[in-house]
Amino acid sequence: MRTGRGGGCGWEGCRGETMTSHAETAGTHADRTGDFQHRGVFFSSAEDLRWRVLPRLRAALDSGDRAVLGVAESTRAALLAGLPPADAAALECVERDELYAAPGRTLATLYGRARTEHPRPVLVVGEPPLPVDDPMRLREWHRLDSVLVRALAGTRLRLLCLHESRALPARVRRDVRRTHPVLVAQGDEHGSPDYVEPDEFSAPDIARLLPAPDGERRSLEIAPDLASLRTAVSELAEKAEVPPARLGDLVLGVNELAANAVEHGGGGGTVTLWRSPGWAVCDVADRGPGLRDPLSGYDPADPRSPRGYGLWITRQVCDFMEVTAGADGTLVRLHFRL
């Protein structure tokens, strides 16, 4: 990767203290000032892309801001081809798959970069993955886009999300408009007429029924002794042949949800684990009020506080996290890519 104008740390170095292989600290809210900006950009050709994006990239570089490019290889080539060599060299380029590894880790990376660079503004030009053939993954990437305006409020980060119109069905383009407060179009920008607030966007999902497990299920009961629970979950995962590289993440994620179930979810519940092709999936169900917010874990937590940190970590150690709730309690489903 290239280092942006004025030096500074590399992308990996701006994520903060490592909690596990996938978890990063959120930092504190006290030093956050400024205004987060979140813009959606639809483009239909390389020329259209350059017309909409390059003026904003040049303005950021001319102002001495950090400018980061995390897009597909073809998109990066199209943008760099329209920049003078000095400007192209000043951009920090990161791999798209690195920036968009998983929704929780994407948020932690953006938040960590904004804090590390503060008070210097940061422009991130990204190209979010929108897998139109996978409803769960598509829904969760849309959810991340929706919650950014809340989670990154107060940071001096500006995010341009690029979307190639021809690759997206109408229903997906509509959700892009619903999750980005501002759209860049016709060389200008305007408020999205379809935009809805994060809570409104995700509210229907709290009562959504999740698909039944599609593999051999292994289950255990949640008890207040979390140390014993961690050992039992580890043994359960080993029996399911979860690779060692993801075992620690799975145990940590389940532990944080089990602790929440013990304290807030009626004192107990169940853990159910199964494998599907390329994935380990784990349900953590409680028997009380528990969680009632599909956005749980997306609000950056203060590491100095003893509360509110576990769900932030859980979002980062798993690849996708779904939250549903009903009269019998809350069900949280964690997906781990193998």
State the CATH number of the domain containing residue 259: 3.30.565.10
Mean pLDDT score across all residues of the chain: 88
Q: What is the predicted pLDDT for the residue at 289?
A: 78
* 255 lies in some domain: yes
Q: What is the predicted pLDDT for the residue at 17?
A: 33
Is the backbone peptide bond immediately before 243 cis, with ω within 30 degrees of 0? no
Model confidence at 218, pLDDT cuts 50, 70, 90, reads: very high
Is pLDDT above 90 for 141?
yes
Q: What is the predicted pLDDT for the residue at 186?
A: 63
Q: Which of 44-48, 301-305, 327-331 has the lowest mean pLDDT?
A: 301-305
Q: What is the predicted pLDDT for the residue at 304?
A: 63
One domain, residues 130 and 216: no
Q: Which of 26-35, 114-123, 272-281 has the lowest mean pLDDT?
A: 26-35
One domain, residues 22 and 127: yes
CATH number of the CATH domain containing 179: 3.40.50
pLDDT over 90, % of the chain: 78
Q: What is the predicted pLDDT for the residue at 201?
A: 98
What mean pLDDT do residues 63-84 have?
97
Backbone angles phi, psi at 81, to 5 degrees: -65, -20
Q: Which domain holds residue 54?
A: 12-196
Q: Which of 196, 228, 254 is the last residue of a domain?
A: 196
One domain, residues 105 and 133: yes
Q: What is the predicted pLDDT for the residue at 188?
A: 82
Q: Which of 139, 166, 196 is the last residue of a domain?
A: 196
One domain, residues 140 and 122: yes
Is pLDDT above 90 for 266?
no
Cβ neighbours, 10 Å, residue 165 = 14
Q: Which of 22-26, 215-219, 292-296 has the lowest mean pLDDT?
A: 22-26
pLDDT tens track for 246-262: 999 999 999 999 998 88
Q: What is the predicted pLDDT for the residue at 49?
A: 96
One domain, residues 211 and 192: no
Model confidence at 264, pLDDT cuts 50, 70, 90, reads: confident
One domain, residues 168 and 293: no
One domain, residues 92 and 186: yes
Q: Which of 161, 196, 231 is the last residue of a domain?
A: 196
Question: What is the number of structural domains in the chain?
Answer: 2
Q: Which of 285, 289, 282 is nearest to 320 (CA)?
A: 282
* 182 lies in some domain: yes
Do 2 and 95 form a contact (C-beta atoms < 8 A)?
no
Is pLDDT above 90 for 97?
yes
21 or 131, higher pLDDT: 131
* 7 lies in some domain: no
Q: Which of 104-108, 117-121, 206-210, 290-294 has the lowest mean pLDDT?
A: 290-294
Determine the Cα–Cα distance for residues 77 and 5; give it in Å rounded to an integer. Answer: 19
One domain, residues 120 and 223: no
Is pLDDT above 90 for 10?
no
One domain, residues 111 and 254: no
* 157 lies in some domain: yes
Q: What is the predicted pLDDT for the residue at 206?
A: 93
Q: Compute CA distances 260 → 13, 95, 290, 291, whole Å.
A: 31, 35, 7, 8
Q: Which of 199-203, 229-233, 264-268 has the lowest mean pLDDT?
A: 264-268
* 201 lies in some domain: no
pLDDT tens track for 11-64: 443 333 333 334 443 332 323 334 899 999 999 999 999 999 999 999 999 999
216 or 291, higher pLDDT: 216
267 or 281, higher pLDDT: 281
Cβ neighbours, 10 Å, residue 183 = 21
What mean pLDDT do residues 286-294 have?
83
Q: What is the predicted pLDDT for the residue at 8?
A: 36
Q: What is the predicted pLDDT for the residue at 145?
A: 98
SS (H, E, C) the chain: CCCCCCCCCCCHHHCCCECCCCCECCCCCCCCCCCCEEEEEEECCHHHHHHHHHHHHHHHHHCCCEEEEECCHHHHHHHHCCCCHHHHHHCEECCHHHHCCCHHHHHHHHHHHHHHHCCCCEEEEECCCCCCCCHHHHHHHHHHHHHHHHHCCCCCEEEEEEEEHHHCCHHHHHHHHHHCCEEEECCEEEECCCCCCHHHHHHHHHHCCCCCCCCCCEEEEECCCHHHHHHHHHHHHHHCCCCHHHHHHHHHHHHHHHHHHHHHCCCCEEEEEEEECCEEEEEEEECCCCCCCCCCCCCCCCCCCCCCCHHHHHHHHCCEEEEEEECCEEEEEEEEEC
Backbone angles phi, psi at 18, to 5 degrees: -80, 130
One domain, residues 221 and 85: no
One domain, residues 69 and 174: yes
* 1 lies in some domain: no
One domain, residues 181 and 216: no
Determine the Cα–Cα distance for residues 237 and 228; give it in Å rounded to an integer. Answer: 14
* 254 lies in some domain: yes
* 6 lies in some domain: no
Is pLDDT above 80 for 276?
yes
